[in-house]
């Protein structure tokens, strides 16, 4: 827990801003040389929206927050012009100078706090006062204006779709520009109970997660001036500038107010940019404070030489065009060769950091070497997925040393061919322990971690076309893979409410596709959240035959044969 100590008022060109310092309730003292973090809230919040985030950061840093002009305990100037974004940026610099005179601050901002912080970090010389900027649910108005202008002057279905989607999400902004209706509307919405119900309906935010100030109704009405003073003039006449301050974007893919495509051009203007995507909603400071704190600590560790995250590689990395999975952590079993290696390489090329597990440690080390060529951070573990206890400990080690993974690929497998009547008990047990029980363990252990974290994720399980194309000589192998397929379908339904996707990949048995082709299909399945992916024409045809005319599959199976049982 954390409490806020009122420090003083900061004078910014005659406007007094209420400044607060976070104090850990256990009395933990912060080192004098600890980094200084400045939290900037949005509309219609005050500094108290940061309660949870500050609680996680206060033991490692000096944490400050302030009520922005017009909100909470700060002054409420009447003219709309007083709320221009240039004045809001001046406020931020004034507060930064007050909390760390002559030094720098790490800015973490949400919603309108992020919008005004973009104005601040875009100024020449901003890096002399701002060491880093973590942006949450608040784009640069200049970036958005330039993007909208480009979409209008270069109309394509995709560009127009992006613009229309964001305009629909932003219809409330038009309401805020009307003369009387906003006050009537916000008069009702300004009730704490009604506001909590509204956010729960729109964003799925748990009612008990919303922290509001006693000044909520007044803050809502004052904050309307932010929209009136800035939206029209900055979107119509954008002036995007190069940002030298290191920036981390925490992008919420389920944000009802700000669509993800709005941030698609940030990399054009920021020289050092990292990005993390999460299946999260708009009010991230309230719903996932630990997630924000983790990413802020990792960013500071990246910039300051791993001062805050010992014995761990960080998961914030440079974002650029084509790096769709930047900042995500992927765990791949059976990563020492074949499909596992190619999948690791494909994910690393798209920005993932990778944890590689295999019984063949030397092979996994070679995979790590190849992934590092793409700039990926890597870690290698020895793991026999048939050893359930070892697998459980491995999952705990990953979470402790590297964080909860965003992507898990249960790829480790073995095979068994020949008559099922000739197979030994040892052969059957070994195959089922690796091909089926290993997948179950990976899904359960990492699935629990993803659910607890609450920011979504994706699980990929490797099955086989044998799961739906019966063949003589593959009965036991097919039984294991059919189990993987049906378990994946069931788990997908179970985890859907947690925004965790589950994909089952089914490569062809005979004429098997190349590992890099399977890896490409795995990446595509993660991108599109596909349920079942047969790989190669034979597998795709077999899947449809078994679904719609299974009797044909049975006839074909009687006429096929597969070689002798493998030891």
The neighbour count for residue 260, using CB atoms within 10 Å, is: 15
537 torsion bin: left (phi>0), alpha (psi -120 to 50), beta (else): alpha
Q: Where are the chain's structural domains?
A: 2-304, 329-559
User: Average pLDDT for residues 290-306, to the nearest whole number?
Assistant: 83
Which strands form 329-333's sheet, in the order they lie side by side?
Answer: 378-382, 353-358, 329-333, 407-410, 457-462, 500-507, 532-535
Token pair in block for residue 13? 């060109």
Q: How far apart are CA 521 and CA 247, in angstroms?
A: 32
Please check the confidence at residue 562 and state whether its pLDDT lies above 50: no
Local confidence band at 444 (pLDDT 50, 70, 90 cut-offs): very high
Please check the confidence at residue 483 and state whether its pLDDT lies above 80: yes
User: Average pLDDT for residues 111-116, to the nearest whole number?
Assistant: 96
CATH number of 2-304: 3.40.50.1820
Q: What is the DSSP string of 10-44?
A: EEETTEEEEEEEEEETT-PPPPTTSPEEEEE--TT
SS3 content of the chain, % helix, strand, coil (to 5): 50, 15, 35
Q: How far apart are CA 449 and CA 431, in angstroms?
A: 27
Q: CB within 8 A of 230, min separation 6: which ones?
A: 83, 84, 85, 115, 141
Local confidence band at 309 (pLDDT 50, 70, 90 cut-offs): very low
53 torsion bin: left (phi>0), alpha (psi -120 to 50), beta (else): alpha
pLDDT at 565: 38
Token pair in block for residue 305? 């030489």
Local confidence band at 301 (pLDDT 50, 70, 90 cut-offs): confident
Q: How far apart are CA 161 and CA 366, in angstroms?
A: 43
pLDDT at 193: 86
pLDDT at 560: 62
**Do 551 and 522 touch, CB atoms closer than 8 A?**
no
Burial classification of residue 74, based on how many CB atoms lie within 10 Å of its CB (0-12 exposed, 13-18 middle, 19 or more buried): buried
The more confident residue out of 336 and 204 is 336
Nearest CA-CA partner of 434 in 472, 396, 481, 402: 481
- Reported as a single tens digit per residue, the pLDDT across 517-546 is 999 999 999 999 999 999 988 888 888 887
pTM: 0.81
pLDDT at 260: 83
Please check the confidence at residue 21 and state whether its pLDDT lies above 90: yes
Domains 2-304 and 329-559 share a fold: yes
Q: CB within 8 A of 343, min separation 6: which ones?
A: 332, 335, 409, 411, 518, 519, 522, 523
- Reported as a single tens digit per residue, the pLDDT across 37-53 is 999 999 999 999 999 99
Q: CB within 8 A of 91, min separation 6: which ones?
A: 10, 12, 15, 17, 66, 68, 69, 116
User: Average pLDDT for residues 371-399, to the nearest whole number?
Assistant: 94
**Do 495 and 502 touch, CB atoms closer than 8 A?**
yes
DSSP type of residue 333: E
CATH code 3.40.50.720 for 329-559: yes
Token pair in block for residue 366? 């070679």
Strand pairing category for 15-24 and 2-12 = antiparallel
Question: Could you give the 3-state DSSP secondary structure of residue 214?
Answer: coil
- Reported as a single tens digit per residue, the pLDDT across 138-170 is 999 999 999 888 888 877 776 666 666 666 556
On average, the pLDDT of the chain sits at 87
The more confident residue out of 498 and 193 is 498
Rounded percentage of the chain residues whose pLDDT exceeds 70: 88
pLDDT at 550: 74
Q: How far apart are CA 151 and CA 120, in angstroms?
A: 26
User: What is the phi/psi pair of residue 511, to 5°?
Assistant: 60, 40
CA dihedral sign of residues 299, 305, 311, 315: positive
């Amino acid at each position: 827990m954390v409490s806020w100590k009122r420090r003083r008022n900061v004078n910014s060109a005659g406007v007094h801003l209420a400044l607060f310092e976070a104090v850990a309730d256990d009395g933990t003292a912060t080192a004098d040389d600890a980094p200084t973090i400045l939290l900037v809230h949005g509309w219609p919040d005050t500094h108290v929206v940061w309660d949870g985030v500050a609680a996680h950061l206060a033991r490692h840093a000096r944490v400050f927050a302030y009520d922005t002009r017009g909100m909470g305990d700060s002054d409420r100037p009447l003219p709309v012009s007083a709320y221009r974004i240039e004045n809001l940026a001046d406020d931020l610099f004034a507060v930064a100078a007050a909390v760390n005179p002559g030094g720098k601050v790490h800015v973490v901002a949400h919603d309108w706090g992020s919008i005004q912080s973009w104005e601040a970090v875009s100024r020449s010389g901003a890096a002399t006062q701002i060491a880093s900027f973590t942006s949450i649910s608040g784009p640069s108005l200049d970036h958005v204006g330039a993007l909208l202008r480009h979409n209008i002057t270069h109309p394509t279905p995709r560009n127009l779709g992006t613009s229309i989607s964001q305009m629909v999400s932003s219809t409330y902004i038009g309401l805020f520009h009307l003369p009387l209706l906003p006050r009537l509307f916000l008069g009702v919405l300004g009730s704490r109970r009604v506001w909590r119900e509204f956010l729960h309906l729109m964003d799925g935010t748990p009612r008990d997660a919303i922290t509001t100030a006693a000044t909520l109704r007044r803050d809502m009405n004052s904050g309307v001036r932010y929209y009136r003073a800035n939206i029209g003039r900055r979107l119509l006449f954008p002036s995007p500038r190069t940002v030298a301050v290191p920036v981390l974007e925490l992008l919420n893919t389920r944000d009802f107010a700000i669509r993800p495509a709005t941030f698609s051009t940030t990399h054009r203007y920021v020289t050092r940019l990292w990005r993390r995507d999460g299946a999260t909603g708009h009010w991230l400071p309230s719903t996932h404070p630990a997630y924000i704190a983790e990413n802020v600590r990792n960013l500071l560790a990246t910039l300051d030489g791993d001062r805050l995250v010992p014995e761990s590689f960080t998961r914030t990395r440079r974002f650029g065009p084509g790096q769709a999975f930047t900042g995500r952590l992927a765990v791949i079993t059976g990563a020492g060769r074949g499909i596992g290696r190619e999948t690791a390489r494909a994910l690393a090329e798209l920005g993932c950091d990778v944890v590689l597990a295999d019984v063949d440690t030397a092979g996994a080390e070679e995979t790590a070497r190849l992934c590092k060529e793409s700039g990926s951070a890597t870690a290698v573990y020895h793991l026999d997925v048939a050893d359930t206890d070892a697998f459980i400990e491995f999952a705990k080690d990953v979470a402790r040393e590297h964080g909860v993974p965003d992507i898990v690929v249960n790829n480790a497998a073995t095979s068994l061919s020949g008559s099922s009547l000739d197979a030994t008990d040892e052969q059957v047990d070994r195959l089922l322990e690796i091909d089926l029980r290993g997948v179950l363990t990976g899904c359960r252990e990492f699935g629990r971690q993803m659910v607890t974290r609450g920011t979504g994720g994706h699980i990929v399980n490797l099955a086989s076309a044998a799961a739906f194309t019966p063949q003589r000589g593959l009965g036991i192998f097919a039984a294991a893979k059919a189990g993987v397929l049906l378990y994946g379908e069931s788990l997908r339904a179970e985890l859907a409410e947690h925004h965790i996707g589950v994909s089952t990949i089914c490569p062809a048995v005979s004429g098997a596709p190349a590992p890099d082709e399977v890896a490409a299909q795995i990446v595509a399945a993660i991108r599109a959240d596909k349920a079942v992916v047969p790989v190669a024409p034979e597998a795709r045809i077999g899947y449809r035959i078994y679904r719609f005319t299974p009797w044909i599959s049975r006839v074909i199976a009687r006429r096929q044969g597969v070689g002798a049982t493998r030891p």
